[in-house]
Structures are given as structure tokens and as C-alpha cells.
Amino acid sequence: MSVAFDVRVDPPYPVRIGPGVAADVAAYVPGDAAILEDANVATPHGDAVAAALEAAGRRVVRLPIEPGEVSKSVATWESLLRRLAQVPFDRSVTIVAVGGGVTGDLAGFVAATYLRGVAWVNVPTSLLAMADAAIGGKTGLDLPEGKNLVGAFWQPRAVLMDVGALATLPDAAFREGLVEVAKHGLLADAALLEAVLDGTFGPDADAAAWTRWVAASVRVKADVVAADARETGGARATLNLGHTVGHALEAASGHALTHGEAVAWGLLYAAHLTHLHLHPETDGRDAARRLVRRVAPSPPPDVAWSDLQAYLRRDKKNRGGRIRWVMAPRPGAARVVEDVPAAVQEAAWEAFVEDVATLRDVRAVDRPERDGGA
């Protein structure tokens, strides 16, 4: 069983979701291939992609990168460009990303900038990447001053989401990916949100269920991207629900918090801010608390609201020095809000801190880790 549909940008590109779809990678790589792979997934995922390409007669060069956010750097980007030039590869090369969100962000930016732009194919191996980062064509690098401050919009030729890779994920990594799935549920799909919160979509589901729920999450993002491919309107900014404070916490922790953990806490803050600013009839704070309990993130750094301001001021959604907050009082009603008084922002932080104190023991929840990695 697999699901296929196009992301309706210009030009459109296919997304295929299901067990075994990565074996068809050669159909999207007409010539030479440079596989940019997270070293943690070189075996078995990188091996399988390389074997499929070589069996189809493609010349393959494999470029492993160090796992984690550290690889989204100017230094790593330069090193990869020089490796490509030393082969040398011409404009007919296709960059194939095999790994999680970091790998896709980096590979896409390498593709966007090598010889002024070459094709790339994304083969995400983590739930976090499948549910979110692999769709939309956002590529980029981090700077010491903040995440994703260097980048380009560069759409892939195809995205192949082999849900069989999810079986190799440690439980903590699977739960991290569930955060972005839940975010898409909060934005537009109440059934998807509930599937995360009640455990229907989890590491113990089968391949058919993984395919169904990953596809539901991807469709939410794909629809938003199609409406606002380059984030020139307000629609695409709503995908950053939970990310404003989430990115700030991630940076303030020195990336000790993973992206998914930080966004989980960011969604809880966003729920408090939405409640205080919009006074919605549908209160999203309980869902956010349930999500934190479900994914059991590490506690956020113990920082004051004033200490987060430098990070918040660098948020990519900001316009004219004003922070643009994403609020989702209920699925289907997300919007970007600029006129949030500073006192309300700080009051939401105080309520958030009280919740964190109550939820600090979430790591004690008994969820045995599984072996493996992606």
C-alpha cells in the first residue's frame, strides 16, 4: 500500500508514501547521483538507495555528514560544494538526501547553490522529516545568531517517504516526529491530532497506519505550501505554530533540546498566548498539555522571558521589528497575529512556566526505548 500525490507548486513534484518506495529512487535520478547521507543512516538506508541507483546504471558518490544540527553550518556546506567540484559533477547531477530534517535542509541548499542550482530528491528517514521538513522546498543553514538564517527556496524533484524506515527509529525519535504531526492536526485536522494524542498513530502501529497518518500530515503542509509557496502571504507562516518560542528555547539551550522537544514546549506556550489574547471558546491548552505528556520532552532551559527576547527578535516571521505570532484556537482557524501586547506575551510565559513546573516529571513516564536509529 502506498499513497501518491503532487505538491502543487511550480513546477509540481510528486510525493510517494509507503513501505518500500525508496527502492524506486532511480526513476527520479536520470544521471549521476551524489548521495548526501546522515552517517547514522548510511546503513541500511543509504546502502539501499545507493544499491538501487547503481543497479539502474547510475554513477554514485556518497557524501556522509555528521549527524545533528551541527552539520547545518557554512563550513559543512562549503566542504560539500568542494567535494562535488572535485569529482567533478556537472549540472546533470542529482543530489539525493538520505536522512532526517537536517540532511534535507543541507542537501537542498547544496543543490540550490552548486552550479547555480541542480536537481535533488529527498528520501527522508525520520518521522520528523517526513511529517514536516521534507515538504515545501525550504532549505538552509544555521548561523551562531540563530536557526535557518541562511537558505533558499528550492523545490525537490521528488520526495520518497519509505515508512519502513520508521521501524528503525528509537522511541524518543519517533515521539519527536509526532510533535510536527500534532502541529498539523492543530492547524487543520482534528482527527490527526487525536490520533497522536490517543496513541493511534505511534511506534507500534503497522505500515498501513503509518502510511495513512503520515499522508494526512503531509497533505496539511502540502495544501498550505501550494497556497503560499515562497511565504509571501500569511498562509505559510501558520506552519510555524509553536516555532517562535520553540526555536528560541532550542537556541537558548545550546541545542540541548532537540527541535521536536523545543516545538512541543513552543506549542504549549502558543496555547497559553492564544487563550490570553483571543479568549477562544475552544481552549487548546489541554491538548498542548496532553501532547507534552505524550512525547515526554526534556525540560526547557530555565531562562527568563527577557533572556529570550534576543532570539525572538530574529524570528523569520517578524516584520518591521514586530513579532508575528501564530495562533490556532481550533483546527482550521490558524492565523498570524501581530498586535499582541508585551504584557500579554509575558503573562503567557508566566502561565507556561507554571505548567512546566507541573509537567517536569514527564520524563518519568514508562516508555521503553527501542533499538535502532534513523
Catalytic positions, please?
A: 116, 138, 180, 221, 231, 236, 240, 243, 247, 259
Single-letter amino acid code for the residue at 346: E
| CA–CA dist 147, 251 (Å, integer) | 8
CA 121/CA 309 separation, integer angstroms: 37
* Start-to-end C-alpha separation, the chain: 22
**From residue 294, how far is each of 172, 196, 217, 331 by CA, in Å?**
11, 8, 18, 19
**219 to each of 3, 165, 197, 258, 301, how far by Cα in Å?**
11, 20, 19, 25, 33
